[in-house]
Structure 1
Amino acid sequence: MKKILFIVNLIAFIGAGECLAQGQLVSRNVLLSFFSSAPIEDIKAETKTGYSILDLQTNNIYFKVDIRSFKFRKGLMQEHFNENYMESDKYPYAEFKGKIKEPVDFSKDGTYDVTVIGDLLLHNVKQNYSAKAVLSIKNGNISGSSNFPVKLVDHNIKIPTLLIKNIAEVVQVTVNVTYENTLAKKM
């Protein structure tokens, strides 16, 4: 059993080294949240367990989150979110695959206003998005943030007519990411 664990850890370590060698940075604790403002009640949820990869050579960016990891103020909201709207057992993850449009010199400190374009796969429906984002680079540490609207109907997420005043048809999604592997450590 110890030999199997050693081999698995060795493969994971080699894989992480390959990511660094190829200029890819990883974050395993992306903060994702959404906010729905509705006449009867505002709904907010967040997770700190999102995953992201940033390729410094190609400007490609990838995010993945387990839908069930979102936490709500009320347990009943979380239950309805997973069972009635997101159908999390059927569609457990959301993914974004995209690219930063503008060139960024990741070796220079600064704040960069960029546009990220790509596809969001949510509730098994893929939609193209373009969102403004801010990248911050300080001492080789890279972080980013973005806020963008998601129309539920675009991802085939249905709101029963009876609950239309409880849930907004458009939710604001916020993403905050800090990449664990830094340029300073690689240089």
Structure 2
Amino acid sequence: AERPDELEAKAGEAIIVIAQSNPEWFVAKPIGRLGGPGLIPVSFIEIRDMATGQAVPDAHDAVKRAGVPRVEEWKKMTAEYKNSSITLGKLDGMAASGMQAVSNDMERMSINGNGASYPMSQGANGQGYHSRSESRTYSQGYAQQQAKPAQPATSNRLVAPVSASIPRYCFD
């Protein structure tokens, strides 16, 4: 890429063509990595038929048949999509009771909070695993806990698990 609006792509890297700027340039995005759209010369890319995997002889004809929009149309569609989307993470207009419910749920899921935790058993190798029978017991206790009025959160810090994994699955 020579200019900031060009897509930096290496030979063999998979990209998706999202618009056509002019007969010599496509707007494309990388598939296998993060990155925004950028311009790439038509002569730099090889379009392949998804069904056969064979290279398409005429890139312009393939793009026309696929219905790839012009840049102006693509920008308009992108703007319409963004305007009709709800941004995740914003809490605009949420009622105080809704905020309290979120806070209570986060406190219940907290590692350091006083909320209930999932039961774990010790396997033969000493690693913890989740048991179905203990899950039933936990579910019954959780249902009883939910019947009680919710306690206000004691701290403003919300803690949630960062990652989780299932090392193995055990049947009862």
TM-score range, shorter chain: under 0.3
Q: Larger RCO: Structure 1 or Structure 2 (Cα < 8 Å, ≥ 6 residues apart)? A: 1
The answer to which structure has the higher strand fraction is 1
Normalised TM-score (structure 1): 0.18
State the structure with more CA Rg: 2
